[in-house]
Structure 1
Amino acid sequence: MKVLATDLDRTLLPNGSWEPDPQAVDLFNRLTREQDTHVIYVTGRSLELTEQAIADFGIRHPHVLIGDVGTTIREHQDGGWHFDEDWTTHVRAKSPRWNVAGIKNAVAGIDGLREQPPENLNPFKQSYFVDHARNEAILKLVDEQVKGHFDESAIYSFDSQSGEGLLDFLPTSANKQTALEFVAGKLGLEKSEVVFCGDSGNDVFPLTAGFSGVLVRNADEQLVSSVKQAQAENPRLKVYFAQGNFNGLSGYYTSGVIEGACHYGVLEL
């Protein structure tokens, strides 16, 4: 089985500041279908926002959607979505102290945090906008109020489009990495048999967890630095940095996903 997992925004989706290759999305769709590739989207987007991306950018439906920063898993079969209740059971068992109300109360008085709208929240995801200019001080306060009390992890990222910081509280057992590990396990695959492509923030976890990693050419400098540091500490990590000039593709966004997938032999051009 050939498995290609990818983040969406500014990875598979050409929605950043770099100029995309106009043919890349159609090429991705055609190659993955013709070459019988099992496609997994791993994204911070909800189901509704993922469907919007599919409509807006013309990307194909995946076989599996790991959504909401890894807190939900759905399979796409026979034209419909099927929620993976096994994942919910797994997360509750692994993170028994997880408590959304407790987290909300703990950070309620921190200036510079603003709760995201309801469509960005779910029982395993409590998210905030952060004043990025003051993110270090804010995150220090968050750490003091929350850390270790709720079986939680706090994941910070920066939205270069809006200029806002993004803070997600998730159960320690539910993130992009653990969800992708769960899906790989259900498919009977070792992590190294799964290619994962990313560009920023919370992609660092699956990129440094033993999957066959790909950083698209437009990846954030902070992510590139973090991944290279992880490689220095663990030379066995497999990570490919898209460079462009590959079969006429630039290496940005979808083109970088295709380049990386070809590097590992999941796709062929």
Structure 2
Amino acid sequence: MEKPNSEIQHDINLLSFDIDNTLIDFNTHKSNFRKVWKKHKPEQGVLLAYNTGRLVDDVIHLIEKGTLPEPDYIISGVGTHIYDYNKKCVVKEFNDVLDDGWDLKLVEDIIQNIDGPINEQPSKYQHDYKRSYYFHNATEAVITEIENTFVRANMDINVVYSQEQFLDILPKWANKGNALQWLLRKLNLKASNALVAGDSGNDSAMFDMEDIKGIVVANAHEELYKYTKYRQIYHAEKDCGDGVIEGLVYYGILPEEAIVSSNTDHTEDYIIQQELNSIASEDDKEKLDLILEGYEKAIIALKKNITPLGFSACSIEDNITHGTDENYHSVWARDGAITVIGSLSLVDDEEIHKCQRQTLVTLIENSSRNGQIPSNVRLKDKQPDYSGVGGICSIDSGIWVVIAFYEYVNVTKDIKFLRKYIGDIKETMRWLGAHDSNNDALLEIPEAGDWTDLFGGSYNILYDEILWYRSNVCFGRMLEMLGDYDEAGEYIRWSQVIKKEILQNFWPSTQQKLFQTVSFAERQFTLGDTPYLIQQTTPFDFSWRCDVFGNVLAFLFGTVDAEKAHQTFKFMLGVGVNDPFPVSNVYPVVTPGDPDWKPYYTVNLLNLPNHYHNGGIWPFVGGFG
């Protein structure tokens, strides 16, 4: 993950965090939060409150045994009690609010007469203002009917259903949000002065408050994710306490060094070890000499592509063109952007640096009125072309330019250059965002509309979605560089929504809950559990192939964590995508007769099996890998 700007000033005075599966793992109680909070917590001005379904005594027990740090307040029982931890007493004024319209015996009688597998939770979860039950996999319609049953009994109460198993019946004023609002008024604070964090449906009342700031951890249940998807909420990349810490860094409460690494060491894994052993068996000097020679040759080749307009797609003097090959005598957005990114370590070479900058200028200054970056700009007449051969569109060209512009400015610190072109880049982001035609955070890509321009991917394509996620992060970071923290925050938060959608749609699993809404790919039981992000999904079908480039970028850009990346690289090494060297772009290849086979794959014999975009060997993909 890109580390947030620690210089963002905040006006947050109260933290209101759920406990189970937000700060700590519900089953193991493991968490880094206590350790990090004790080391990095603000010296003054920020109060810590736990807002939980647990009762006060249970929370105090977690504090006393060292699982959680000491708070200032405990809002317990899903918003039915407020406990002043410093004074060691219940805030009794809040109880007076809860008595209005509450009849505990009538609640118990109504629940007993409801037809369904509802079982009362143990007594330690019950008190005078809360009745809690187990009710597994209840549908929304069933919960609505329970609410209507209380309405018919003239009872104005709160029915809270969470994690597809917990049913809580509470007084009408009792929920996590109302209790938090009451506490804020008591402390003379506004909702905008509070930061909340949660993982499940019973936390939604906290996020419902106007002007509230929030953190949704990566392991959040679908009910809360959907509820907060379009809100100004930070969706963390990490689970539980690590996700909360990540959010606290984002909001400027904790310093960047508070970020906790949770990566697992897999160097002992058999397949990984085989690769390491193979490398170790080579002669070190011979290997280093070969690397150095390759590096020097690469710089020579790179300089052959320097032109007055930027990096060309090939060396002009070394390549005689025939027919459509003339397209290579252009500055291509995709190729140029990748070249800029890959050559940034050579920024001190004046000739290369000048070409890096000119490549970006050529592409951005030739963008269309609606913000589309050209596919390429021809060298001979400086004319932009917004498509390739046959009018095939190129959605990813603009995404690569946004990413490359950020990487360039991040290295050179040329804020004046950024300020000059930020308006153009914003228009490009709007043009790209318009391709999210159903507002699900993912782009809908026309067939063959990216770098595999004679290969039949379409709709939600892994490679494009990974780039889309990264471009939102990059654009947000550029806005931060210019001091526009509010708009930067919108893009960073939206990037987390994109990431969640990618993982939900492209990493299928058979481990689905009975009433959970699932994507099309997840409904294909024959797909099973994949150890990689699948190639594409559409409303009508999916491709279960492994897009090597897309999966490599997913790891490099932080879309998947180290654990998922380990599974993916183990799979790819196991099936031999790197043999022959460096790497093929897809596994397995598409063969005639396969449902994914398209007649145009035979055009110029380009996409026959193990050729070109159909499993061909790509040095630049290997370079990223």
Residue 26 of structure 1, aligned match among 14, 35, 42 = 35
Distance 2:146 2:119 in 1: 13
Could you say what secondary structure the match of 1:147 adopts?
helix
Residue 142 of structure 1, aligned match among 142, 146, 163 = 146
Maintained 8 Å contact 2:32/2:241: no
Give the C-alpha shift of residue 90 in structure 1. 2.2
2:95 equivalent to 1:88: yes
Distance 2:32 2:173 in 1: 38
Provide the residue aligned with 1:188 in structure 2. Answer: 188
Give the C-alpha shift of residue 129 in structure 1. 1.1
* Matched AA of 2:21: R
Provide the residue aligned with 2:213 in structure 1. Answer: 212
Maintained 8 Å contact 2:150/2:156: no
Provide the residue aligned with 2:169 in structure 1. Answer: 169
Distance 1:185 1:61 in 2: 22
Could you say what secondary structure the match of 2:102 adopts?
coil
2:237 equivalent to 1:239: no
2:102 equivalent to 1:107: no
2:207 equivalent to 1:203: no
Distance 1:195 1:116 in 2: 30
Q: Normalized against structure 1, the TM-score is what?
A: 0.81
Provide the residue aligned with 1:228 in structure 2. Answer: 229
Distance change in 2, residues 1:221/1:144 (3 Å): closer
Provide the residue aligned with 1:11 in structure 2. Answer: 22
Q: Normalized against structure 2, the TM-score is what?
A: 0.37
Provide the residue aligned with 2:247 in structure 1. Answer: 260
Distance 1:14 1:116 in 2: 20
Extract unaligned runs of 5+ from structure 1.
160-164, 232-237, 244-250
- Matched pairs, number: 242
Distance 1:98 1:24 in 2: 37
2:47 equivalent to 1:38: yes
Maintained 8 Å contact 1:28/1:254: no
Could you say what secondary structure the match of 2:58 adopts?
helix
Distance 1:24 1:68 in 2: 22
Distance change in 2, residues 1:141/1:225 (3 Å): closer
Provide the residue aligned with 1:53 in structure 2. Answer: 62
Maintained 8 Å contact 1:29/1:59: no
Could you say what secondary structure the match of 1:70 adopts?
coil
Give the C-alpha shift of residue 117 in structure 1. 2.2
Distance 1:51 1:199 in 2: 21
Could you say what secondary structure the match of 2:97 adopts?
helix
* Matched AA of 2:92: E
2:57 equivalent to 1:63: no
Residue 153 of structure 1, aligned match among 153, 158, 161 = 158
Give the C-alpha shift of residue 241 in structure 1. 0.7
Distance change in 2, residues 1:34/1:16 (3 Å): farther
Give the C-alpha shift of residue 97 in structure 1. 1.8
Could you say what secondary structure the match of 2:82 adopts?
strand
Distance 2:173 2:109 in 1: 22
Distance 1:199 1:134 in 2: 19
- Relative contact order (alpha carbons < 8 A, sep ≥ 6): 1 or 2 greater? 1
Maintained 8 Å contact 1:207/1:214: no
* Matched AA of 1:253: C
Give the C-alpha shift of residue 135 in structure 1. 4.7
Maintained 8 Å contact 1:155/1:202: yes
Maintained 8 Å contact 1:107/1:146: no
Give the C-alpha shift of residue 6 in structure 1. 0.5
Provide the residue aligned with 2:102 in structure 1. Answer: 98
Q: Which moved more, 1:205-214 or 1:59-68?
A: 205-214
* Matched AA of 2:77: D
Distance 2:76 2:214 in 1: 19
Distance 2:141 2:222 in 1: 22
Give the C-alpha shift of residue 30 in structure 1. 2.4
Q: Highest CA radius of gyration, 1 or 2?
A: 2
Provide the residue aligned with 2:318 in structure 1. Answer: none
Distance 1:8 1:153 in 2: 21
Give the C-alpha shift of residue 146 in structure 1. 1.5
Residue 127 of structure 2, aligned match among 122, 130, 135 = 122
* Matched AA of 1:90: V
Could you say what secondary structure the match of 2:41 adopts?
helix
Give the C-alpha shift of residue 259 in structure 1. 1.6
Maintained 8 Å contact 1:70/1:176: yes
Q: From the two aligned structures, give the one with the greater helix fraction.
A: 2
Give the C-alpha shift of residue 186 in structure 1. 1.2
Could you say what secondary structure the match of 2:88 adopts?
strand
Distance change in 2, residues 1:23/1:43 (3 Å): closer
Maintained 8 Å contact 1:154/1:167: yes
* Matched AA of 2:109: N
Q: Deviations over 1:98-146 (max 9, x none)?
A: 111111111212231112222211111111111x245556535523422
Distance change in 2, residues 1:63/1:205 (3 Å): same
Maintained 8 Å contact 2:23/2:33: no
Q: Deviations over 1:146-183 (max 9, x none)?
A: 23622201000126xxxxx1111111111100101111
Distance 1:60 1:33 in 2: 13
Q: Deviations over 1:190-217 (max 9, x none)?
A: 1011000111121111112132111012
